Copies of this chain bind each other. A is one copy, B any other.
Amino acid sequence: MPAESAPVLAVDIGGTKLAAGVVDADGRVLTSGRVPTPGGEDAEVLWDALRGLIEKVRAEAVAAGSPAPYGIGVGSGGPMRWPEGVISPLNIPAWHEFPLRHRLRELARGAPVRVHNDAVALALGEHRWGAGRGHANMLGMVASTGVGGGLVLGGRVVDGASGNAGHIGHVVVDPTGPPCACGGFGCLEAIASGPRTVARARAAGWVGADAVALTADARAGHPVAVAALARAGEALGIGIASAVALCDVSIVVLGGGLAQAGDLLFDPLRVAYTRYARLAFSRDVPVVPAALGPNAGLIGAATLLLGGESCWSAED
């Protein structure tokens, strides 16, 4: 077992890209790389791409003078069996019940490998190194293709009974609202995800490609674009008010692509939050942008090993 200061390998599994990096014990990314997520149905093609990427960044880090990284932390889209790390990401059809953790343990020659929901990893990273630093009780969130999150309570990550704690995207913010991909109705994600926000603008006559274009048009004052983001912000404010009432966190950190809209999202979010969060302990809880930037996914994945907050029931 190497010293506690050894760097770790971090892996971020997404539907559009695979990323890997070597992250030191201070949360700094020493080396990193990414490749497009291979399409198709072949699980082994995908695995070969990931393994090649990991070996490349590992070799680069060592060549640059880093100690050999010890252990692998992985953030991945779900669902997954947890803590086994058998993953079936919705947006990666080639991996259905793929034993990612087992494969990575072979690759790591028995060193610790921890796999968690990518939103949980992001929340842990923001808690340890980012905008949630110093708060023993925080909610970290991502609003992008979906809306996800992770909870740190009493200084420790909340796993939940099945490793799925933090799914704030499926808090109901409008019981008469639109159907959600999960099968429910009026979930936060069904209103405030990037694609749903774009779809709402398009249905009202806006013409544009994606959330980036929507945000640009909203900045230029396009009223339909402004209203679509405002509705997303309102839904986020309601969902966050419910989460803070239930979990009594002292800060909420919001990242992800849609959060790049800045005040166009955060202003209506805070108006709604102030309307619905009226308890003495909830009303002044700040909702702040994430701080870790483009490497947040890797830093979060690394924190699964670096943090020490988690209770792991698995064999290592």
Binding site for B on A (CB under 8 A): 79, 135-137, 149, 151, 153-154, 156, 158-175, 180, 182-187, 238, 241-243, 245-250, 275-282, 311
Q: Taking A160-B247, A172-B241 as given, write out 18 further A-B residue pairs in contact, using a Cβ cutoff of 8 Å, ordered by the A residue number.
A: A151-B246, A151-B247, A154-B158, A161-B250, A163-B248, A164-B279, A165-B246, A165-B248, A166-B246, A169-B245, A170-B242, A170-B279, A172-B242, A172-B276, A175-B276, A242-B242, A242-B246, A247-B247
Interface centre among A163, A174, A246, A247 (most CB of B within 10 A): A246
Q: Judge whether A184 and B246 touch: CB under 8 Å.
A: no
Q: What is the minimal beta-carbon distance from A184 to any residue of chain B, in angstroms?
A: 4
Q: Across the interface, which residues of B come within 8 angstroms of A174, CB to CB? A: 175
Across the interface, do A172 and B279 meet the contact criterion of CB distance under 8 Å?
A: no
Query: What are the 5 closest A-B residue pairs judged by CB atoms, nearest first?
Result: A160-B248, A183-B278, A170-B245, A161-B250, A165-B248
Given the interface pairs A172-B238, A276-B175, the reply to whether A162 lies near B281 with Cβ below 8 Å is: yes
Given known pairs A185-B275, A275-B184, the reply for A243 and B246 (CB within 8 Å) is: yes
Q: In the complex, what distance in Å separates the CA atom of A151 from the CA atom of B160?
A: 11
Q: Nearest-CB distance from A302 to chain B (Å)?
A: 22
Q: List 8 A-B contacts (CB under 8 A).
A: A137-B165, A154-B158, A159-B248, A167-B246, A170-B282, A172-B242, A172-B276, A185-B276
A12 to nearest B CB, angstroms? 22
Given contacts A167-B279, A184-B277, A278-B180, is CB(A137)–CB(B161) below 8 Å?
A: yes
A160 engages B153 (CB within 8 Å): yes
Could you say which residues of chain B place their CB within 8 Å of the CB of A173? 172, 175
Contact B275 A167 (CB under 8 A): no
Residues of B within 8 A of A167 (CB): 245-246, 248, 279, 282
**Residues of chain B within 8 A of A182, CB atoms compared:** 278-279
Residue in A151, A163, A187, A281 whose Cβ sees the most chain B Cβ within 10 Å:
A281
| CB-defined contacts of A168 to chain B, threshold 8 Å | 245-246
**A279 CB contacts on chain B under 8 angstroms:** 164, 167, 170, 182
Please, which residues of chain B bring their CB within 8 A of the CB of A276? 172, 175, 184-186
**Separation of A137 and B79 alpha carbons in the complex (Å):** 19
Complex contacts, A282 vs chain B, CB 8 Å: 164, 167, 170
Tell me whether A238 and B175 are in contact (CB under 8 A): yes
Give A163 to B171 CA distance when docked, in angstroms.
22
A279 to B79, CA, bound (A): 10
Complex Cα spacing A161 to B238, Å: 20
Residues of B within 8 A of A166 (CB): 246, 248
Could you tell me the distance in whole angstroms from the C-beta of A257 to the nearest C-beta in chain B?
22
Q: How far is the CB of A296 from chain B (nearest CB, A)?
A: 21
> Could you tell me the distance between the alpha carbons of A182 and B243 in the complex, rounded to whole angstroms?
16
A84 to B246, alpha carbons, bound, how many Å?
21
In the assembled complex, the Cα of A186 lies from the Cα of B151 at a distance in Å of 24
Give A155's nearest chain B residue, CB to CB: B311
**A164 pairs with B281, CB closer than 8 A:** yes
